Amino acid sequence: MAIKQLLHRLFKCVRLALPRSLSICLWLLKVMLPISLAVRVLQYVGIIDWLAGYLSPVFSYIGLSGDSAFVFLTSIFLPLYPTIAVMTTLTLTLREATILAVMCLVSHNLPVECSVAHKTGSRFGEIVAFRIAMSFVAAVVLNWLLPQSDAPFSFLASTTTEVTSWGMLLMQWLTSSLSLIVTIVLIVTALMVLQRVLEEFGWMHRIAHSLSSLMCLFGLPSGCSLLWLTGNVVGMAYGAAIMIDEVENGRLTREEANLVNHHLGVSHSLLEDTMLFVAMGISFWWIFLTRLVLAMVAVWTMRGVKKIKNLFGFYFKFS
């Protein structure tokens, strides 16, 4: 009887997750296919190469070619899925793909995610500038740490053939897009089911409670563990309702939420977003550790700067 009840609850999780997964997949088709086709056309007619000529000097300092800037600009304004669609149209080494992936993971979908941060205690312009700046900090760090290598980005192996006609362009676009969509659909569906299972069995709150000590290590208030977990399991956009509710119900002050927003700005959706790139052949540990360590450093730096300001303010007040 217990096994039957367990299976019933698991089936319920799958049943509830599938409509959401289907909705996201349909959205992916509408967004990714036109964007990836547009980029291929721009590349075919030479506009990408023209832009790359202007941007190469800047991106060369972080180990990337100029056309990588187009991917990064796409990530700033759009979610990761169309960004990945653009990324698959370029010829990259695995080293370049790793640096670019981390940059995009830090700075993607900024209009939406920074609006959530603004709603929960951060200044919109400040958090946008912070995330873009941290993207370049991450790129500089990785360009310094990653060993030099010309190993190709294996996911792109089928798209490196020179395009000589419009028909060839369309065929390559269709092949790579279908492959990418299948990969993402499988990952998204699995993650939607996992999220439902965590909620159904009450594991989300138990895990959050066990993370209170970890929050102290990150320089975050211990009461923000549920907020941190939400941001890292379902992302800032999906977790917006929970994040706003924590602040509006007084469980976190806006000042505390601001610290969380800066941490999550660098390191959020560590499950879904990371696995999207891991599925494409990029190392999990380079993505995971780079974002987590930089987020921790950023928060402790903020706290240190604030303490120094308070000390100077106290000094001048009584001097």
Q: Output the DSSP codes for the chain.
A: -HHHHHHHHHHHHHHHHHHHHHHHHHHHHHHHHHHHHHHHHHHHHTHHHHHHHHHHHHHGGGT--TTHHHHHHHHHHS-HHHHHHHHTTS--BHHHHHHHHHHHHHSSSHHHHHHHHHHTT--HHHHHHHHHHHHHHHHHHHHHHSPP---B-GGGGGG-SPP-SHHHHHHHHHHHHHHHHHHHHHHHHHHHHHHHHHHHTTHHHHHHHHTHHHHHHHT--GGGHHHHHHHHHTHHHHTHHHHHHHHHTTSS-HHHHHHHHHHHHHS--TTHHHHHHHTTT--HHHHHHHHHHHHHHHHHHHHHHHHHHHHHHHHHHH-
Q: Is the pLDDT of residue 231 over 60?
A: yes
Q: Encode pLDDT of 91-128 as tens digits.
A: 889 999 999 999 999 999 888 788 878 877 789 999 99
> What are 261's two structure tokens?
């927003």
> Sign of the C-alpha dihedral, residues 108, 103, 183, 45?
positive
- Is residue 239 in a domain? yes
Domain hosting 24: range is 20-307
Q: Which of 90-94, 221-225, 272-276, 287-291 is modeled with the greatest confidence?
A: 287-291
In a domain, 12, yes or no: no
For residue 219, what pLDDT is reported?
92
Q: How confident is the model at residue 313 (pLDDT cuts 50, 70, 90)?
A: low
Q: What's the 3-state SS for 51-84?
A: HHHHHHHHHHHHCCCCCHHHHHHHHHHCCHHHHH
Whether 6 maps to a domain, the answer reads no
Kindly tell me if the per-residue pLDDT of 158 is higher than 60.
no
Q: Is residue 9 part of a domain?
A: no
- What pLDDT score was predicted for residue 27? 67
The per-residue pLDDT for 159 is 44
Average pLDDT over the chain, rounded to an integer: 81
Residue 24: pLDDT over 70: no
Query: Has residue 2 been placed in a domain?
Result: no
Q: What is the mean pLDDT of residues 285-298?
A: 95
Label residue 194 by pLDDT band (50, 70, 90). confident
Assigned domain for 316 exists: no
> Is 314 part of any domain?
no
Name which residue leads in pLDDT, 146 or 159: 146
175 is a domain residue? yes
Structural domain count of the chain? 1
